[in-house]
Amino acid sequence: MRSRGRVLVTGANGFVGRALCRSLAAAGYSVRGTTRASAHTVDADEFYAVGDIGPNTNWTGALRYVDIVVHLAAQVHVMEESSEGLLAKFRLVNVAGTERLARAAATAGVRRIVYVSSVKVNGENTKGKPFKEGDPPKPRGPYAISKWEAEQRLCQISKETGIEVVILRPPLVYGPEVKANFLSLMKLVDRGLPLPLGSVDNRRSLLFVGNLTGAITACIVHPEAAGKTFLLSDGEDVSTSCLIRRLAWSLGKRARLLPFPPALMRAMGHISGRSAAMERILGSLEVDSGKIQRVLGWQAPYALEEGLKETASWFESEARR
């Protein structure tokens, strides 16, 4: 089958990167992945080890004969959370590193960059109405600030060089091979541990990894995507307690939810210095994904229920321990 073009995927050995490489290959693209070091888990036709991403990364070989770049690689965590230079560390990778890649891509003749940013650019929570692309950005914290600055830098480079830029802002992404908080939640549900979240009545948007890869693929090919920013979601918002019940059902378990006042939980989070983490459990974060549907005609191929089932199936076969 003739290739539909060569796509460079940065962060190809990450959770989203591996899924995207498989999806693009199935769609007929020639896929080149990049990683920091040699990797044997990249589902791409070829890969480059580019080392640390920053203002001095050499992208020349990785960008040769590339048509599209999908930029996933980012600084997400920094171990020294109390460091005074925390924002500088995020900017080094997420801002300066992204600028270096974009300028190198423009020089190499790359037509378009699809940049996977974060809904955190819009803010940490919603109150009564979902985030939309036209809302004033309210990033909080080094990660969100660096993502917003990277978006602005990309738009400026697009004006200067003519390279097309598409920006995607996903909420929490889940699916097979997921890690971090979502995997931890699945393990708690699987073990049948009682959780004091029965009284939580928030609304949060989620995004199945198959929906994210589908949206990225649409943004690679659609002419109307150029210069646009899109928010994404599965299209169904759920409370934390509802999510736990549906996860339990997908795992064949019974959810053990205990009623507990959210106000008291917030107070405990404040005392323990974990207010932000508590708000991710108790607060709302809703996303309006109508723009990508209107502009590109894109619809999420997987409903939330289907995404949870696929995630649970993977968990039962490979991650349960």
Has residue 274 been placed in a domain? no
Domain membership flag for residue 312: no
For residue 167, tell me if it sits in a domain: yes
* Structure confidence at residue 234 (pLDDT): 98
**Residue 285, strand partner residues:** 204
Q: Which pair of tokens denotes residue 92?
A: 């080094």
Task: Report the distance separating Cα 236 and Cα 205, nearest Å.
Answer: 7
> Which is more confident, 242 or 41?
242
Decide: 73 and 34 in contact? Cβ < 8 Å: yes
Distance from C-alpha of 64 to C-alpha of 81, rounded to nearest angstrom:
37
pLDDT at 83 (0 to 100): 56
- Tell me the whole-structure pTM to 2 decimals: 0.94
* Separation of alpha carbons 28 and 67, rounded Å: 14
Q: Which range is least confidently modeled, 167-176, 223-232, 236-245, 254-263?
A: 254-263
Q: Identify the CATH number of the domain in which residue 226 sits.
A: 3.40.50.720
Length of the chain (residues): 321
Q: Give the pLDDT confidence score for residue 252 in this predicted structure.
A: 94
Residue 199 is assigned to a structural domain of this protein: no
In a domain, 250, yes or no: no
pLDDT tens-place string over residues 44-93 = 789 899 999 999 999 999 999 999 999 999 998 765 554 568 999 999 99
Per-residue confidence (pLDDT) for residue 77, from 0 to 100: 76
**Rounded Cα–Cα distance for residues 12 and 35 (Å):** 6
By the 10 Å C-beta count (0-12 exposed, 13-18 middle, 19+ buried), 102 is classed as buried
What distance in Å separates the CA atoms of residue 308 and residue 245, rounded to the nearest whole number? Answer: 11
Residue pLDDT, tens place only, 190-199: 999 999 999 9
* Res. 301: pLDDT tops 70: yes
User: Could you tell me if residue 246 is inside a domain?
Assistant: no
Residue 286 has pLDDT above 70, yes or no: yes
Single out the residue of 88, 170, 75 nearest to residue 122, CA to CA: 170
CB 120 within 8 A of CB 229: no
pLDDT digit string, tens, across residues 137-189: 999 999 999 999 999 999 999 999 999 999 999 999 999 999 999 999 999 99
Q: Name the least confident of 48-52, 166-170, 219-223, 291-295.
A: 48-52
> Quick check: is 310 in a domain?
no
Range of the domain at 110: 6-174+207-234+286-302
| Burial environment of residue 239 by CB neighbours within 10 A (0 to 12, 13 to 18, 19 or more) | middle
Structure token pair of residue 279: 């708000």
Whether 2 has a pLDDT exceeding 60, the answer reads no
* Residue matched to tokens 């109405």: 129
Report d(CA 169, CA 141) in Å as an integer.
Answer: 16
Q: What is the mean pLDDT of residues 293-318?
A: 96
Residue 159 is assigned to a structural domain of this protein: yes
Structurally, how many domains does the chain consist of?
A: 1
Q: Are 5 and 29 in contact, with CB atoms under 8 Å apart?
A: yes
Please report the pLDDT score of residue 280 as a whole number.
87
Known catalytic residues are 143
Q: Is the pLDDT confidence value at 3 over 90? A: no
Q: pLDDT above 70 covers what percent of the chain? A: 94
Mean pLDDT, residues 30-38: 89
pLDDT of 209 higher than 70: yes
pLDDT band at residue 130, thresholds of 50, 70 and 90? very high
Least confident of 34-43, 139-148, 312-321: 34-43
